[in-house]
Structure 1
């Protein structure tokens, strides 16, 4: 993995789609890499969004998707000490957040729902999932994200 280290997990100016030009001759290496990155999100939630985006292309990976996965590795090389840290000396009040990204998927136009739950300053649960149907407004997408988070809290 040659090249300089990067400070972000993704280049957000590049749109990853299923119709990106050059397909990989064998997607097995891409799948193994994304599988390992998925496992790593248990202790590195900072790469969660990028890995979620990359995992959408396991069946149709291209050279652009593979380059994006390599970028996540370069980010990890730049920030090896980041991760979840716990301490019992902080107020342990529960807090939760939910959000959605309206119409994010350029292939299906479906929104992404996200939530995260904290106890004190420690994240204990998080999820990012593509919504099942297309939302006709950002308000509808936000409502669905809130409903998903509420189900998880219950």
Structure 2
């Protein structure tokens, strides 16, 4: 690390040796993950080459998976003794806090029943509505007006660009369990640099839609087939500013929705068939990645 201000040395190009990494330093996150991953590798866990935050350990019919997000971890598996062992080891090295059965993680609420698992962001949605003053607003049934296409128009610029960006950013995080908001959020995120009153009006409609369905989420049933089903689609040159098409896809593992996206294409398609093939190519890459990830979970 560079010499701090006030420290002088007669030796040119001198640096300080960093003995302990602290929060806020440039190398802090790298050093933290290196120590954590080395500790897991020492216990026989294998880091996935397709998702570097995923560590797995298998022994015959027993399987344990560990997912990392900065310093928050999720443990899952069918070997309770291994789960207890890894928790004791991590506590001895890092002094962890065991929160028990997974119920809440990074704003995601997890509910279990004899039928399956439900994921939603109900608390996050209510917090968004409360902070924006839409908690008691009149709800609407759809996130966007039918056949409405947002574009850079000549309407009055919205007076608070920072607020618009903050709200769109919070909507982006809400799409982790709300695929019904993906297209509307994709449309709104195109005008972060110069939003107008019409764009803000479209944003408020999305908030009123969330008010109507605050607890919408994803359901993963217990009885389902282990088979990937892919659906993709595209419009053709409906962006009035660039004439680019928008791709969309969703992936199902049996009856469970596990991946989705709505994104503007990088090129201008010269036909509707070309736009469809671009959407299909993007979806095929996602399917290929999911097959690699399933292999890490020992699912052929």
* Match for residue 75 of structure 1 among 179, 186, 209: 209
Rg (Cα) greater in structure: 2
- 1:68-120 per-residue CA deviation (whole Å, 9 max, x = no partner) reads 11111111110122111112123332200111111121100000111111012
* Worse overlay, 14-23 or 26-35: 14-23
Q: Does 1:28 align with 2:176?
A: no
Q: Within 1, Cα distance between the matches of 2:252 and 2:180?
A: 15
The structure richer in strand per residue is 2
Cα deviation for residue 20 of structure 1 reads: 4.0
Cα deviation for residue 33 of structure 1 reads: 0.5
1:139-150 matches, within 5 Å, as 139-150=273-284
Aligned to 1:128: 262
CA contact (8 A) 1:43 1:83 kept: yes
Higher RCO, 1 or 2 (CA under 8 Å, sep at least 6)? 1
Aligned to 1:151: 285
Q: Within 2, Cα distance between the matches of 1:80 and 1:86?
A: 19
1:1-154 matches, within 5 Å, as 1=134, 3-154=137-288
CA contact (8 A) 1:20 1:64 kept: no
* Worse overlay, 23-32 or 80-89: 80-89
CA contact (8 A) 1:114 1:129 kept: yes
SS in 1 for 2:217: coil
CA contact (8 A) 2:236 2:245 kept: yes
Residue ranges of structure 1 left out of the alignment (5+ in a row): none
Residue ranges of structure 2 left out of the alignment (5+ in a row): 1-133, 289-300
TM-score (norm 2): 0.49
CA contact (8 A) 1:90 1:120 kept: yes
SS in 1 for 2:166: helix
Aligned to 2:13: none
CA contact (8 A) 1:16 1:65 kept: yes
CA contact (8 A) 1:9 1:50 kept: yes
* Corresponding pairs, count: 154
